[in-house]
Amino acid sequence: MPEGDFARPRFCSRCGQAIVVNDAAFCKNCGAPLGPREWIKRDPGFNPVLALVLSIVPGLGHVYRGRVGRGIMWFFGVSFCYAASVGLGIVIHFICASNAAFAGTVREDAFATPRSR
């Protein structure tokens, strides 16, 4: 019997067979890897707005997310870009802030390749 969630049926992109198991990673008919059902990982302790605000200081939003190495890299990268050109610094600073707020929201296992058996 198929599991719930009848809003959007899924089909295998290789053979076209219907996927009846919600969390299936592979097609039961041909064995092709299936796309993820849920794209966004929800972390209840993370506030993307706070990460965006903390990124006024380049890299601080990344440190808040627990990625200290990336935070240090963004700090020196954005500082170098501001030294080279103010316009370039503003653009890279905006990229840094948006990366701190929204990067890593896609599930890591969504694009994982199947392990060899």
Looking at residue 10, the DSSP 8-state letter turns out to be E
Confidence label for 85 from pLDDT (cuts 50, 70 and 90)? very high
Tens digit of pLDDT for each residue in 24-69? 778 888 888 876 654 445 556 778 888 889 999 999 998 988 889 9
Q: According to the model, what pLDDT value does residue 92 have? A: 95
Q: Where are the domains of the chain?
A: 1-38, 48-102
pTM surpassing 0.85?
Answer: no
**Beta-bridge partners for 92:** none
CB contact set of 89 (below 8 Å; sequence gap of 6+): 78, 81, 82, 83
Residue 22 contacts residue 38 (beta carbons within 8 Å): no
Quick check: helix, strand or coil at residue 34?
coil
